[in-house]
Amino acid sequence: MRIMDVLPFPRTVEVSNVESFLRTRLNGETVMFPEQAIALLGYMCCPNDGSARDHLMCTLRGWGRGSQQIPPGLGRVQHEWLRVADVVHTYYDLSQGHHQKRRGGASIGKAITLVDAKAKSRGTGEANLWKLWGKHKDVAHLIAAAAFVCYDVRLKHRRSRFLLPIHALIPFQIVMLIPDLVVAVAIEFQRFGLESVPYSRTEPTFDPESLWRIPNNINVMALAPQIRKVSTQDIYVLNERRAGSRG
């Protein structure tokens, strides 16, 4: 079992009103919890390369001293995050909505089939989605949480008009500015992934041994993400899916 080395937040964080929380925290570019944010990004960008993680964290700490160095590959990894996040959240939607029970229930394979079927951008074919899942699955709960919070912030930006411009609201920046909210959602995704066991399998979706778990003492209460509607067309796509398509 692997537990991330992330400092606990100084006070217990329990978000009861997300919009009020965002108005307070996104009206400037002040990073309130840099050590927690930097550690989270280190694991998200380099889950299985400790040396690269240390180098990235050193680069990010330099930002507080005026450095403008941009980590290489930042745009590419965020593009990959969005693909992985869509798979995780689609799997969550299928499971929490109790879809496909007669066909074995929800699974990562079914989520990948749906993401592929609805994709409108390059790099979203089933083979590539399986590849990205394999690459990022040990931090998939953090990635899904960052992407969900980013999407939700962008929606609320239309009403609240945070001082930050909407183009600055990307997953990387969201983790830097509101790591506690990202952790709150990630805790729920982590619980779900460790407790859900797909049909005919004996192990949960998230590998209990390799997943980078959030420390129990991090002082953040879980916050469940929105369960999105699974359309009739989505169900049709899954019903047409060939048995045995496991990637």
Model confidence over 79-111: pLDDT tens digits?
Answer: 999 999 999 999 998 888 776 666 667 889 889
Task: Please write the tens of the pLDDT for every residue from 164-222.
Answer: 667 777 999 999 999 999 999 999 999 999 998 876 677 899 999 999 999 999 999 99
Q: Return d(Cα 197, Cα 70) in angstroms, integer.
A: 39
* 64 neighbors 176 (Cβ within 8 angstroms): no
The segment with the largest mean pLDDT, out of 129-143, 189-203, 226-240, is 129-143
Residues 6+ apart with CB under 8 A from 164: 26, 27, 28, 29, 177
For residue 62, pLDDT beyond 70: yes
Predicted model pTM: 0.89
pLDDT band at 244; cut points 50, 70, 90:
very low
* Domain boundaries, given as residue ranges, for the chain: 2-239
The pLDDT > 90 percentage for the chain reads 54
